[in-house]
Structure 1
Amino acid sequence: MQTDLLQEARRQAEICNACRYCEGYCSVFPALHQERFFTDANLTQLANLCHNCRGCYYACQYTAPHEFDLNLPKALAEVRQDSWESLAWPAPVARRFQKSGVMIALATILGFALLFLAFRALGSAGGDGFYAVLSHSAMVAIFLPAFLFPLASIAVSLRRYWTETGGTTIALKEIVDAFGSAAKMKNLAGGHGDGCNFEDEDRFSQARRHAHQAVMYGFLLCFASTSAGTLLHYVFDMPAPYPLWSLPKLLGIPGGILMVIGTVMLASLKLKADRSLGAAANWGGEMGFILLLFLVALSGLALYALGSTAAMPTLLAIHLGSVLSFFLLTPYTKMAHGFYRLTALIRDEQRKSAG
Structure 2
Amino acid sequence: MQQLEALTRDARALALGELLPTPHESEVSRQLQICNACRYCEGFCAVFPAMTRRLEFGKADIHYLANLCHNCGACLHACQYAPPHEFAVNVPRAMAQVRGQTYADYAWPSALGALYKRNGLTVALVLAAGLALFLVLAVRAKGTLLHEPLAGNFYAIFPHNLLVLMFAPIFLFAALALAMGVRRFWRDISPGQASGVAMGEAGLNVLRLKYLDGGHGEGCNETDDAFTLWRRRFHHFTFYGFMLCFAATCVATLYHYLLGLQAPYALTSLPVLLGTVGGIGLLVGPAGLLWLNLRRHLLHGDAAQKPMDRGFIALLFFTSLTGLALLAWRDTGAMALLLAVHLGVVMALFLTLPYGKFAHGIFRSAALLKWAIEKRLPGTLKLGGD
Normalised to the residue count of structure 2, the TM-score between the two structures is 0.88
Aligned to 1:20: 39
Aligned to 1:346: 369
Equivalent in 19, 22, 30 of residue 11 of structure 1: 30
> Which structure has the larger Rg?
2
Equivalence map 1:56-71=2 (5 Å) = 56-71=75-90
1:296–1:322 contact (8 Å) kept in structure 2: yes
Equivalence map 1:74-223=2 (5 Å) = 74-123=93-142, 129-201=153-225, 203-223=226-246
2:326–2:335 contact (8 Å) kept in structure 1: yes
Instruction: Quote the RMSD (CA, aligned, Å).
Output: 1.7
Aligned to 1:236: 259
The sequence identity of aligned pairs, in percent, is 42
Q: Is residue 32 from structure 1 mapped to residue 51 from structure 2 by the alignment?
A: yes
Report the Cα offset of residue 133 of structure 1: 1.3
Instruction: State how far apart, in whole Å, the 2-side matches of 1:180 and 1:159 are.
Output: 21
1:97–1:104 contact (8 Å) kept in structure 2: no
Report the Cα offset of residue 61 of structure 1: 0.5
Aligned to 1:278: 301
Q: Which stretch has the larger CA shift, 259-268 or 65-74?
A: 65-74
1:218–1:259 contact (8 Å) kept in structure 2: yes
1:124–1:133 contact (8 Å) kept in structure 2: no
Instruction: State how far apart, in whole Å, the 1-side matches of 2:265 and 2:248 are.
Output: 11
Provide, for residues 299-336 of structure 1, a one-character-per-residue CA deviation record: whole Å limited to 9, x for no partner: 11111101112221121111111111111111111111
Aligned amino acid, residue 316 of structure 1: L
Equivalence map 1:245-324=2 (5 Å) = 245-324=268-347
Provide, for residues 59-109 of structure 1, a one-character-per-residue CA deviation record: whole Å limited to 9, x for no partner: 100012211111111011101111111111234544334345111111211
Instruction: State how far apart, in whole Å, the 2-side matches of 1:288 and 1:275 are.
Output: 19
Aligned amino acid, residue 42 of structure 2: E
Aligned amino acid, residue 172 of structure 2: L
Normalised to the residue count of structure 1, the TM-score between the two structures is 0.96
Provide, for residues 233-278 of structure 1, a one-character-per-residue CA deviation record: whole Å limited to 9, x for no partner: 1111110001110001111101000110000000000000024321
Instruction: State how far apart, in whole Å, the 1-side matches of 2:121 and 2:298 are.
Output: 17
Any unmatched runs of 5+ in structure 2?
Answer: 1-17, 145-149, 379-386
Aligned amino acid, residue 265 of structure 1: G
Aligned amino acid, residue 161 of structure 2: S
Instruction: State how far apart, in whole Å, the 2-side matches of 1:342 and 1:217 are.
Output: 15
2:63–2:98 contact (8 Å) kept in structure 1: yes
Secondary structure of residue in 2 paired with 1:106 = helix
Q: Which has the higher contact order (CA 8 A, sep 6+)?
A: 2
Instruction: State how far apart, in whole Å, the 2-side matches of 1:315 and 1:98 are.
Output: 31
Q: Which stretch has the larger CA shift, 81-90 or 286-295?
A: 81-90
Q: Which stretch has the larger CA shift, 141-150 or 270-279?
A: 270-279
